[in-house]
C-alpha cells in the first residue's frame, strides 16, 4: 500500500479499521478466519468503508479461509447496495461461473433444436425436486414447475435489460439430457431458454456424461413426482407462432425492480388505481416467446381497485359482481393469519387465478409460473406488492370461477 493510497482513507475509515483490529497500512491483511477488512465491512454492511477500501485499492477478489470473497458476504448479508458496488468494480474471478465441462465439437443443441446450432446462450432450467418434496411431498410437483416458470421469467427479464430476445422451449428431449447430464432420478430438466443466432448445423451430443453433484445432502425418492415428471416430459404441447413481447419500461427502474423484488404477506387493505391494474393486465397479455404453448386464462377477483366494481373478472370482462374477499381468503387457505386475524388474499387489491385446459401439464405450469414472475415484476415496478400462492383449494376455486379447467396458480397483488 503506497503512502498516497493510505492518505486517501478518511479518518472515520481509519478509525473503523483500527477498532476492528485491522492495519490501515495493509488493506489486504487477513484477520480472523482470513477475513480481510473489505470482507468485514461488507459483512457488516458499512457502505462508506467498503467504498473507501475499494477506492484505495483493496483486493476485491481476496478469499477467506472458507474461500468466500466480499461479494459472498454482500449476498449473504442481503446488502443489495454492496452487491451492486462490488459487481460494478468487476469481480471477475468469482462470478459464480464454474466450468464443469468443456464443449469441443459437442453441445446441447442436438437435444433441443436438432440440426441447428446457436451462436449465443442456451439456459437449461432444472429442478432438484427433493428440495421441495421433503416438505410438500406429492404437491411439490406443482411448486417445482411453477418455480421453473419463475426462473424462465427471471431470465427473460434479464434478457430485456440486455437487449436480447429470448425464446422458451418446452418440447425437447429432456429425458436424454437428464441421462447425459448424469442426473439419475435426483434432478430433472424442465425447460430451456435460448438467445442468439440460430444456424443450420448439426452439433453432436455430449461426448461424455457430465459428473453429477447432488443438490441435496440427503435424498428420498418420491415415485409420484418421478412418474408425473416422466409422463409430462414426453407429451407434446400445443403449438403457436413465435412472437416476442414488446415492453416499454424504463431500464434503470426495471433493473431496480428486479433487484428489489420480494413477496409480501400482509397488505394494508388499500386500493390500487384502475390505471395501474389495467397496466399490469396489459403486461400479462404480452406474447410469451415460445412455440410450445399452452393457453392460460386469467381470472381476477377484484376487491379494491378504484373505479372498478368488486367481483370476478375474466381479463377485464366482469363475470359476476360481488365481494369475494372473504371467500378468496378462505380459498387460499386463510394463509398468513396474523394476530389481527387477517389473511392476505382477502386484504389484497386483486387475487388472480391462472387457469388452463392444457395438453401438456409441464408446459402449462411453467407458463403459469412465467406469467407469475411477470406479474411480480409488473406490479413491483409500479410500487404494488405481490405474492404467489401455490396452496389453494382446487375444486372450490374452480366453483367460484365457474370453470371446469384446472387452476394452475394463484397470485395476490395490492398495497
Ligand atoms: C410458485 C410459488 C408459490 C408460492 N406459494 C405461496 C403460498 O402458498 N403461500 C405463501 O405464503 N407464499 C407463497 N409463495 C411466496 C414464497 O414463499 C416466496 O416467494 C419465497 O418465500 C421467497 O421470497 P421472495 O419471493 O420474497 O424472494 C409462493 C411463491 C412461489 C414462487
0.85 exceeded by pTM: no
Quick one: which atom of ligand 1 is closest to the CA of 146?
Answer: 1
Joined grid coordinates for residue 165: 430476445
Give CA–CA dist 250/253, Å, rounded. Answer: 5
What gap in Å lies between CA 162 and CA 243, rounded to an integer? 18
pLDDT for the residue 119: 94
Task: Return the H-helix or E-strand segment holding 289.
Answer: none
So what's the pLDDT on residue 142? 97
Best residue among 388, 391, 411 to mutate for probing ligand 1's pocket (most ligand atoms within 8 Å of CB) is: 388
Q: Which residues line ligand 1 (CB under 6 A)?
A: 143, 146-147, 150, 262-263, 265, 335-336, 387-391
pLDDT of residue 2: 43
DSSP codes joined into one string, 312-335: EEETTEEEEE---HHHHHHHTTT-
Alpha carbon nearest to ligand 1 atom 29, residue: 388
Residue 399: enclosing H or E segment and its boundaries? helix 394-401
Surface-to-core class of residue 142, CB atoms within 10 Å of its CB (0-12 exposed, 13-18 middle, 19+ buried): buried
In order of their start, the domains of the chain are 3-88 (1.25.40.20), 109-234 (3.40.109.10), 251-414 (3.40.109.10)
Instruction: Give the ligand 1 atom nearest the CA of 336.
Output: 11
Per-10-residue mean pLDDT of the chain, 415 residues long, equals: 57 95 93 95 96 92 88 87 83 62 90 96 96 96 98 97 96 97 95 97 92 88 98 97 97 96 92 97 97 97 97 95 93 66 76 98 98 98 97 96 98 96
Please report the pLDDT score of residue 90 as a whole number.
63
Taking the CA of residue 150 as reference, the ligand 1 atom at the shortest distance is 31
- Residue among 136, 343, 389 to mutate when testing ligand 1 (max atoms within 8 A of CB): 389
Determine the distance separating the centroid of ligand 1 and the alpha carbon of 336, expressed in angstroms.
Answer: 12
Q: Tell me which residue has its CA closest to atom 21 in ligand 1.
A: 263
Distance of CA 315 from the midpoint of ligand 1 (Å): 23
Number of C-beta neighbours around residue 357 at 10 A: 12
Amino acid at each position: 500500500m503506497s503512502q498516497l493510497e493510505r492518505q486517501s482513507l478518511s479518518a472515520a475509515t481509519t478509525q473503523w479499521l483500527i477498532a476492528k483490529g485491522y492495519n490501515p497500512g495493509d488493506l489486504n491483511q487477513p484477520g480472523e478466519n482470513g477475513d480481510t477488512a473489505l470482507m468485514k465491512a461488507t459483512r457488516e454492511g458499512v457502505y462508506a468503508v467498503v467504498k473507501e477500501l475499494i477506492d484505495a485499492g483493496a483486493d476485491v477478489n481476496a478469499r477467506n479461509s472458507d474461500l468466500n470473497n466480499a461479494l459472498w458476504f454482500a449476498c449473504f448479508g442481503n446488502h443489495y447496495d454492496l452487491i451492486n458496488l462490488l459487481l460494478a468494480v468487476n469481480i471477475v474471478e468469482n462470478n459464480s461461473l464454474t466450468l464443469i465441462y468443456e464443449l469441443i465439437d459437442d453441445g446441447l443443441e442436438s437435444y433441443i433444436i436438432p440440426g441447428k446450432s446457436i451462436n449465443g446462450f442456451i439456459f437449461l432450467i432444472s429442478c432438484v425436486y427433493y428440495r421441495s418434496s421433503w416438505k410438500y411431498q406429492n404437491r411439490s410437483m406443482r411448486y417445482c414447475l411453477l418455480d421453473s416458470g419463475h426462473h424462465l421469467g427471471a431470465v427473460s427479464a434479464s434478457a430485456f435489460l440486455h437487449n436480447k430476445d429470448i425464446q422458451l422451449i418446452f418440447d425437447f428431449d429432456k429425458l436424454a439430457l437428464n441421462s447425459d447430464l448424469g442426473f439419475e432420478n435426483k434432478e430433472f430438466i424442465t425447460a430451456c431458454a435460448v438467445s442468439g443466432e440460430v444456424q443450420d448445423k448439426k452439433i453432436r451430443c455430449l461426448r461424455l456424461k457430465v459428473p453429477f453433484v447432488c443438490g441435496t445432502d440427503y435424498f428420498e425418492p418420491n415415485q409420484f413426482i418421478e412418474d408425473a415428471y416422466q409422463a409430462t416430459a414426453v407429451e407434446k404441447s400445443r403449438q403457436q407462432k413465435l412472437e416476442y413481447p414488446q415492453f416499454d419500461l424504463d431500464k434503470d427502474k426495471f433493473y431496480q425492480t428486479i433487484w428489489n423484488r420480494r413477496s409480501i404477506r400482509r397488505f394494508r387493505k388499500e386500493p390500487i388505481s384502475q390505471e395501474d391494474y389495467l397496466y399490469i393486465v396489459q403486461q400479462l397479455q404480452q406474447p410469451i416467446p415460445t412455440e410450445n404453448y399452452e393457453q392460460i386464462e386469467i381470472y381476477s377477483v377484484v376487491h379494491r381497485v378504484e373505479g372498478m366494481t368488486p367481483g370476478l373478472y375474466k381479463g377485464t370482462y366482469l363475470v359476476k359482481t360481488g365481494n369475494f374477499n372473504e371467500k378468496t381468503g378462505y380459498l387460499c387457505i386463510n394463509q398468513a393469519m396474523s394476530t389481527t386475524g387477517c389473511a392476505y388474499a382477502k386484504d389484497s387489491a386483486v387475487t388472480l387465478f391462472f387457469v388452463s385446459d392444457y395438453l401438456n401439464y409441464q408446459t402449462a405450469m411453467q407458463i403459469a409460473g412465467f406469467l407469475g414472475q411477470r406479474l411480480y415484476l409488473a406490479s413491483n415496478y409500479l410500487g404494488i406488492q405481490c405474492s404467489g400462492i401455490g396452496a389453494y383449494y382446487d375444486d372450490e376455486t374452480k366453483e367460484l370461477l365457474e370453470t371446469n379447467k384446472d387452476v394452475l396458480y394463484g397470485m395476490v397483488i395490492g398495497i
